[in-house]
Amino acid sequence: MNKLDLLQLAQKSLWRRKARTILTVTGVMIGTTAIVVMLSLGIGLNESQRRSMESWGSLNVIRVQPGTNYDNEGNPLGEAKRLNDETVEEIKAIDGVWAVTPAYDAGGEARFGRKRGGLQLIGVDPAAMENLEFTPLLGRLLEPGDRNVIVVGSEVINQFQDEADIKKMQRGMMISPGMREDKDPADIMDQRLTMELYSGTNREQKKVFAFQVVGVLEGEQKEHSYQAYAPIEDVKKMRRFLNQASGGSTSSMSREIAMKMGGGAVSVRRVGGSKSSSRIEADDYSYILVHTKDVSDTKIVSQALKDQGFNSWSMADQLEGIEKTSRTIQAILGGIGAITLLVAAIGITNTMIMAIYERTREIGIMKVIGATFRDIHSMFLAEAGLIGFFGGIIGLGLSYTVSYVINQISKDFMNRGMPPGTEEAIGISLIPGWLALFAVLFAIMIGILAGLYPANRAVRLSPINAIRND
């Protein structure tokens, strides 16, 4: 007997007792729906947390900062790492690293037109900017060969205020938050920003640094939204100017620098420490950005950096704890769903045993006319597998329906944790393709396993006694 004949015979046998078959299939359907929906809740929670973190910053970027890394007990892991060109080459040699760019960090007061405000300026390699997952909302990114240009985050414009408002605040007049409106990032495009830097303890040296805004970055709430990016060589010149009064490096004495625009100035007092720390401040990079191609690589590279004594941090570090919690939730919810499917498997076994009692004479006749033990065994396993298949398919369809209803009910609640401006809704229940396929295959497997005992029992029936059975 070929396999197609076995399937046709199994299907006909199932529908002889339609009510019993439908009830058994319903049990599998409920069990499949339970396990799929339960697992989808854990997957959905994990994905929503992941995408929420991605909305704040890239999961593929690692920030290596100066200083010593510590283990869980607070013990230092090696000596403090200097961030210089040798360090950049050392990081590039780590497996999984796709791109590396050093960065200088500078901050102060800037001005364009009649507006002025604080500006956090970061110098990066223009050739590596695209690798750091920056996307221009307006204009373009930095390009190799750029000089005296700048790309700003979408919220930088809101850090600048009119001179009239600044004077009101200086006179003690408060401006209510309701009177402040978000400004259009396009207002800062193609503008000329200037920064006046003063070097020396008596501010005897002054230099003006000017930048042309060539781009505004996309993302209202990402970590780069309040930052500005310039070619690293331009920012390096600023650092050199600030350090030249002390012979190229800061000493242990206090250093006062003033960053000014127009007539106003902001003084920043820095106190140097030891010669070692001062030398690092003067010559080394502020931090190094490491980019990987995948989140899984980020975790491996981040751990490798920490093992080598680097002080590193990435969004993916926070994601690891979320994933552990999510896996625990999935295991608990999946176990609850599996119990329901186990009850359905007992129902399949009961149905198949009842079928054997009802078809004992039929089984005997089949053996007498030439059906092998394997044919009998396969026929009953096929019937049990078909119950699992029908129950799994229907249960999967019901799972999508339940998942949709859950997501519609929880949509507003879930989106409260998302940054403003996030358009795409994130549901609490997510059924990926692999889970749908797993659900159907698992239901079929449960059906077959539940049919093993009845099938073995049918094979052991004596043909003579089976034929005599009324």
Higher pLDDT, 457 or 445: 445
Model confidence over 116-174: pLDDT tens digits?
888 888 888 888 887 777 888 889 999 888 899 999 988 888 888 887 666 666 665 55
Model confidence over 273-322: pLDDT tens digits?
333 443 445 567 888 888 888 777 887 888 888 877 788 777 776 666 77
Does position 469 have pLDDT exceeding 70, yes or no? no
- Whether 396 maps to a domain, the answer reads yes
Asked if 329 and 437 sit in the same domain, the reply is yes
Asked if 50 and 141 sit in the same domain, the reply is no
| The pLDDT of residue 401 | 93
| The pLDDT of residue 293 | 80
Structure tokens at 102: 């050093």
Separation in Å, CA 73 to CA 44, 76, 312, 318, 345: 34, 9, 17, 19, 49
Asked if 340 and 404 sit in the same domain, the reply is yes
Collapse the DSSP code of 65 into the 3-class scheme (helix H, G, I; strand E, B; otherwise coil) and give the result.
Answer: strand
| The pLDDT of residue 166 | 66
Higher pLDDT, 34 or 418: 34
Write b or e for each residue in 242-267: b if 16 or more Cβ atoms lie within 10 A of its Cβ, otherwise e.
bbebbeeebeeeebebbbbbeeeeee
Using 50, 70 and 90 to split pLDDT, how confident is the model at 397? very high
| The pLDDT of residue 171 | 62
| The pLDDT of residue 394 | 94
CA 66 – CA 83 distance, rounded (Å): 6
- Whether 345 maps to a domain, the answer reads yes
Asked if 256 and 397 sit in the same domain, the reply is no
Asked if 274 and 353 sit in the same domain, the reply is no
- Whether 380 maps to a domain, the answer reads yes
User: Given CA atoms 126, 131, 132, 133 in this order, what sign does their dihedral have?
Assistant: positive
Does position 178 have pLDDT exceeding 70, yes or no? no
CA 26 – CA 151 distance, rounded (Å): 60
Asked if 368 and 224 sit in the same domain, the reply is no
| The pLDDT of residue 280 | 46
Mean pLDDT for the stretch of residues 373-381: 81
Does position 269 have pLDDT exceeding 50, yes or no? no
Indicate the angle between helix axes 315-358 and 360-368, nearest 10 degrees: 80
- Whether 90 maps to a domain, the answer reads no
Model confidence over 185-221: pLDDT tens digits?
888 899 899 888 777 666 667 788 899 999 998 876 6
By residue range, what is the domain housing residue 143? 99-291
Fill in the DSSP letter of residue 184: P
- Whether 378 maps to a domain, the answer reads yes
- Whether 92 maps to a domain, the answer reads no
Asked if 367 and 272 sit in the same domain, the reply is no
- Whether 171 maps to a domain, the answer reads yes
Which of 242, 274, 291 marks a domain boundary? 291
Asked if 355 and 267 sit in the same domain, the reply is no
- Whether 39 maps to a domain, the answer reads yes
User: Looking at the 3D structure of the chain, how many domains does it have?
Assistant: 2
Average pLDDT in the chain: 76
Does position 249 have pLDDT exceeding 80, yes or no? no
Asked if 132 and 240 sit in the same domain, the reply is yes
Asked if 124 and 48 sit in the same domain, the reply is no
- Look at the chain and count its residues: 470
- Note if the pTM is more than 0.75: no
| The pLDDT of residue 413 | 63
Asked if 269 and 386 sit in the same domain, the reply is no
Asked if 222 and 103 sit in the same domain, the reply is yes
Which of 238, 273, 291 marks a domain boundary? 291
